[in-house]
Amino acid sequence: MKFNFYRNLNKNERFPSSKRHLKSVFADFESINFSFGLTRFFEFDSSVSKKPKINGTVVSSISYNRDRTINFSLFPLSITDYPDVAIDDFNNQLLVTIKQWIEAQINKTDTAILGIEELIVEWDGKEHLIHRVKFL
């Protein structure tokens, strides 16, 4: 497990989760690279042909790569646009879903891994939405 902090937050920003909380949830996984603020905003990889429609703010993206590494990116969010209830939902509900998705990816056979699979977590102002993307 590796943690990288790329961006200092402004006083009116936050991340959807903390290093301590992520460590406790994903303690069983060694090959996860966590990136806090690698980029300010989420952008699709150029090889994604079918992009889901995203109307809200992407709070994190998790990709499972052909070499079986996992990249977990968290983006800086405005405190006013991402309230405490969203943080609680992300930490108590979504991280469980993400952990289950990662476990399913890890349990795939080598021949079942055809490209990169990605989970994109969006906050629409009321609830989190999960988008699944596959690309080469």
4-24 confidence digits (pLDDT tens): 998 789 899 999 999 999 999
Q: Are 122 and 128 spatial neighbours (Cβ–Cβ below 8 Å)?
A: yes
CB 101 within 8 A of CB 119: yes
Alpha-carbon distance values, 71 to 79, 84, 88, 116 (Å): 24, 25, 22, 11
Q: Measure the CA–CA gap between 117 and 132, rounded to whole angstroms.
A: 7
Residue 135: alpha-carbon gap to chain centroid:
16
pTM value is 0.91
Give residue-wise pLDDT tens across range 39-80. Answer: 888 998 888 888 999 999 999 999 998 888 999 999 999 999
In this prediction, residue 57 carries a pLDDT of 96
Q: Model confidence over 90-135: pLDDT tens digits? A: 999 999 999 999 999 989 887 777 788 999 999 999 999 999 999 8
